[in-house]
Amino acid sequence: MAYSTFCQTPNNARLEPMFLGQSVNVARYDVQKYEVFEKLIEKQLSFFWRPEEVDVSKDKIDYAALPEHEKHIFISNLKYQTLLDSIQGRSPNVAFLPLVSLPELETWIETWSFSETIHSRSYTHIIRNIVNDPSIVFDDIVENEEILKRATDIAQYYDDLIKLTQAFHLLGEGTHTIDGKEVLVTEREIKKSLYLCMMSVNVLEAIRFYVSFACSFAFAERNVMEGNAKIIRLIARDEALHLNSTQHIIKLMQAGVDDPEMGEIAKECEQQAYDIFVKAAEQEKEWAQYLFKDGSMIGLNEQILCQYVEYITNERMKSVNLDLPYENISNPLPWMKNWLESDSVQVAPQEVEVSSYLVGQIDASIDESEFEDFDL
């Protein structure tokens, strides 16, 4: 079945499954199979922000004053996040769009991926501000072994799915020889690859990102690198939506109502899904070790970050109906909540944590001496 950008066969999209039904033709949203994707699109659009709106100039001074091992933590995290968003800014489009068959889900995937490109742009904004030559940071992403290890694992599930889909669209079902290797291409194989890919994406959005968030917010808890934290806070707000959507897609797949075969596959792949989560969590713990190799930072060390990885992995696995691999503990980083909380409650405009006031709100040029003749 070849992909068509506008399939001319009239159909009722509400009767199609999420993936591998008839390709979407009319982008219409008046009738929807799953209203939740429409709501996610609206929420994501309402979250729109641009990195340039956040003043990060004070971060340059803060960064210069950081000890070397903290610079390493900060920069390594930025590199890792740059990698994650480089992948997320394109892969959902490339991998999922050729398979999707619901208009609202198609648009959600595009909106989701677009917001990741904003995140990528904000890393350039942050890095350009704190180092003289951004290439030193960016070039290392494709050389740093610790980062590449993760990149391989994350990209693999996307790449497998993309390859299978391309073969399917070009050659149809069957056993094909591609690059000298025999590849079995069936709809079922694609669905299996899609399910595992969605799990891996969920892990990326729900666990991998949060390790970096924890470090960024740990700096800001000490009132350093606050401009960066404001940006990361906006990114975290978007990521909460993305992980909500991948959890939702996974649960629809598991329930098997949308596509009974997908329900069977979800059951078959339960152990594989479990392994994807555990492998990623263990990788993130190794990453914590790499981050803190030259020393901890105030408020965060390797041990606490590893506990947080285990804690959050359990919570995320619970959300997608998987068994829990780690011991049940209470949240080792309770202050994370303050940074992840959205802005419904505005405490005071001058509070740096309130991101609804953040557009151009840091006056980085004010010196402490200006308050000298200020009496209470």
**Residue 183 backbone dihedrals phi, psi, to 5 degrees:** -125, 125
**Residue 191 sits in the site that holds other proteins (CB under 8 A):** no
Residues ≥6 apart with Cβ < 8 Å to 75: 131, 137
Binding other proteins (rule: CB under 8 A), the pick from 22, 244, 296, 321 is 244
CA 339, CA 230: separation in Å to the nearest integer?
9
110 contacts 102 by C-beta, under 8 angstroms: no
**Residue 129 sits in the site that holds other proteins (CB under 8 A):** no
The label of the residue with tokens 């494709």 reads 142
CB of 238 to other proteins, least distance (A): 10
> Is the CB of 58 or the CB of 233 nearer to other proteins?
233
**Residue 331 sits in the site that holds other proteins (CB under 8 A):** yes
Is-catalytic flag, 80?
no
**Rounded alpha-carbon distances, angstroms, from residue 177 to 74, 183, 184, 238:** 46, 6, 9, 41
> Is the CB of 113 or the CB of 246 nearer to other proteins?
246
CB of 375 to other proteins, least distance (A): 35
Binding other proteins (rule: CB under 8 A), the pick from 251, 264, 302, 326 is 251
Binding segment toward other proteins, per CB under 8 A, in 103-111, 155-163, 273-281, 343-351: 343-351
**Residue 282 sits in the site that holds other proteins (CB under 8 A):** no
CB of 369 to other proteins, least distance (A): 38
Binding segment toward other proteins, per CB under 8 A, in 25-33, 71-79, 107-115, 247-255: 247-255
**Residue 25 backbone dihedrals phi, psi, to 5 degrees:** -105, -80
**Residue 262 sits in the site that holds other proteins (CB under 8 A):** no
CB of 96 to other proteins, least distance (A): 19
CB of 337 to other proteins, least distance (A): 6
CB of 291 to other proteins, least distance (A): 22
**What does 290-311 look like in DSSP terms, one character per residue?**
HHTTT--BTTB-HHHHHHHHHH
Active-site hit among 34, 63, 80, 123:
123
Three-state DSSP class for residue 336: helix
Three-state DSSP class for residue 184: strand
CB of 292 to other proteins, least distance (A): 24
**Residue 237 sits in the site that holds other proteins (CB under 8 A):** yes
Token digits for 48?
């729109």
Binding other proteins (rule: CB under 8 A), the pick from 8, 344, 350, 365 is 344
Binding segment toward other proteins, per CB under 8 A, in 122-130, 182-190, 241-249, 264-272: 241-249
Q: Convert residues 307-326 into a mask of x (bound to other proteins by CB under 8 A) and - (unbound).
A: --------x---x-------
CA 34, CA 48: separation in Å to the nearest integer?
23
Binding other proteins (rule: CB under 8 A), the pick from 342, 356, 360, 364 is 342
300 contacts 215 by C-beta, under 8 angstroms: yes
**Residue 347 sits in the site that holds other proteins (CB under 8 A):** no
CB of 257 to other proteins, least distance (A): 12
Size of the residue set binding other proteins (CB under 8 A):
23
Residues constituting the chain: 376
> Is the CB of 166 or the CB of 319 nearer to other proteins?
319
259 contacts 191 by C-beta, under 8 angstroms: yes
Per the rule left: phi > 0, alpha: psi between -120 and 50, beta: everything else, 295 is left
∠ CA 258-197-304, nearest 5°, is: 115
CA 138, CA 136: separation in Å to the nearest integer?
6
CA 153, CA 279: separation in Å to the nearest integer?
9
CB atoms near residue 92 (< 10 Å): 25
For the segment 30-59, give every residue that binds other proteins (CB under 8 A).
36, 39-40, 43
81 contacts 152 by C-beta, under 8 angstroms: no
CB atoms near residue 28 (< 10 Å): 11
> Is the CB of 288 or the CB of 336 nearer to other proteins?
336
Which residues belong to the active site? 123
Which residues are at the interface with other proteins (CB under 8 A)?
36, 39-40, 43, 237, 240-241, 243-244, 247-248, 251, 315, 319, 330-331, 337, 340-345
